[in-house]
Structure 1
Amino acid sequence: MRKNIGAGVVFVLVICLSSAITWRFMQDSGTPQNRGAQAAAIPVELADIHIGSIAQRREFTGTLEAEGQLIVAPKISGRVERLHVNLADPVTRGQVVVELDNAEYLQAVAQAEAEMAVAKANLLQAKSLLEIAERELSRVSALRKRGLSSESAYDAAVIAQLTRKTQLEVSSAELQRAESLLNLSQIRLGYTRINAIWQGGDGQRIVGERFVEEGDTVSANTPLLRIIELNPIRAVFYVTERDYGQLKSGQQASVSTDVFPGLQFLGEIVRIAPVFRENTRQARVELKIANVDGRLKPGMFVRATVELTRVQDAILVPEQALSQRDSAFGVFIVDEGQTARWIPVQPGIQNAGQVQIQLTAEADQQVMERLLATQVVTLGQQLLDDGMPVQIPAKQISATQAIPPSREHVQ
């Protein structure tokens, strides 16, 4: 009895195993096409391909500097009597901005004038004495010719005339020296009135810094005021060797600052240093920025975006469409059968969410036409392989038909 039961169990197990093998064989006997049809399609989203221009830009950080500045300093020492301007006041070219105590220099001028008056009187006296000596020499010379005057009297008259002539020359020189001293004292008196004088640029500037107060005693060449020019203003940044070769004078730049968020100021590269700093291996670059309203101020931190190059008629796709497989870049397109196709590409310039792509050297004209006649996958490509079925949203199905690529200009 037990033997019959065991044989029945074995029979049942054999029947179950045979059924499982048969079912598995029927599943495997389906064609590859049928198996692909049974595979689940990957939902994706598509985006258009554009033909247009794209620019490569580089952003640099820097600082604003005054295009022109004047450090007002006295040529003489003295006490600051009066400051005619204060911080942020406008200054006109040639305007008196500071006055020093001039009492000592006024006295020096008065003394020089008195010495000049004495020198003039001495000169008049010397002229008179010379005239008397010349008349005496003429009288003695006439008497000598008539034999009425001795040789010694004649010699004495000649010596007297020469002496008076020398005294006249000395008096004349003393007068010139007195005039020079008077001019010098007047110049030094003029130094007590300090003018803001600069060359070139606008005729009006602004006081950027004040270093002294009224009543301070200053020595010669002590800075009193810093007068700056705000329009135009200069932006300075430093570049490495990698970017140096792509910059040149005349390139346009867009400048922004956190002080005025959302505003862009147009600048132009005007100077590029011919040498690099040894400690940083960077070169100085200067931008000239129009600042008519004076909103930009020296010392502000700025960001300058410079257009290094621009490519026309480039193939542009969204950055999300670019994928990487085994260190190779490419994009997925969808053919008419809603099947994903992998197109190897070489990425180029990236800007404003767009990337320039170029077909690899192995691609032919047919691949190019195929690429430009469809759309690229921008969502879901991480799950795709070449030849896999995809599921496209209904609103984008018509976009998979052959359509010409649009033209776009990427700033």
Structure 2
Amino acid sequence: MFALVASGFTNIYLTQPVLPVLQQEFGVSVAEAAWSISAVILGITLANIPFGLLADALPVRPIILLGGLMIAAAGLFTSTADALSWHVAGRFTQGLFIPALTTCLAAYLARVLPPDRLNVIMGSYVAATVLGGLGGRLLGGWIHPPLHWRYALVSAAALTIVSTVIAWWLLPREGKRVRPDHASRVGFLDLIRQWRVLRLVFSGMGSFFVFSSLFNYLPFRLAQPPFALSTNAITAVYLVYIMGIFIGPMAGKIANRWGSGSTLLAGAAVTFASVLLSALPWLSGVVAALLLLCAGFFTVHAASVGALNRALAHGHGRANALYVLFYYLGGWLGVSASGLAFQTWGWAGVMGVCVGMLAFPALAGWQLQREQESGN
């Protein structure tokens, strides 16, 4: 499971460190080159709920096998694309099938594991997403020379095929399904009508908007004066991402002790500080900003998911699918909107839109804190 999730997430951010290389090779603008990432996120956003419904209706292991093979095939196709339009089409197809290795796998684990084991395995699941995200960035801009980014796509495809086949072969078959009772059939519209659900969904969306924006346009900022870093040096900066492996469990403990509201407010404040620090003209300041960004983002993400699941008596599966939908929608909007802001106003434009989106986790935290203090 760990290898499967990590290899799946490797494909998402594979081209992020080499976006300036893609811009030059395809002869496109910054915003157009960023579609290499936003197309994947858009595909995940559109396919997440359909795959969640498939996971409830069909055995998951064949879905995992199909999804993994399609991601690999689309990656191999993308590695041969000689135009940005075909490149984006291949990346979009990869995004469409990523939920087979994320949403469907999470549903599978919830069905086949007892509760005490599920908590442990889901901790590994989160760590695998972080490792995969970091691994993709390192594979795309460090392990393979930047100008040979096409080989990184081939390597990621090979890893995905191997991990998918092994997972399909070794993961236990599902037992007999338990038919859900009437009370548990909470629809998506029912969830959207609940503000206590919607504010936490928007909290995750806003935080991932900021995270995706800063990390996606960091290569362009660091490639320009006063930094003028090489692609290898820019890729090394992404090592700060590994902090997410440790922050997630810590955020859960903080939320248990101080409450989800206070944790969300603290995470939003730390993220806000990271946005401000990113404007510093020193590399040490930018690295500090990214460390704070990881700390703040994963704190908000973990606290939002935890508060969402505690707020509901039924419909947890659909609520989590809804959260993931808006989560990746926030990432896609962040990459798209910040690209236009960067072209128009430079890094100050990226900072401006990010600060605005932090209102969502801050509002959710403030309201949760007030409810906690009033005993509601």
**Structure in which a larger fraction of residues adopt strand:** 1
TM-score, normalised on structure 2?
0.17
TM-score, normalised on structure 1?
0.16
**Structure in which a larger fraction of residues adopt helix:** 2
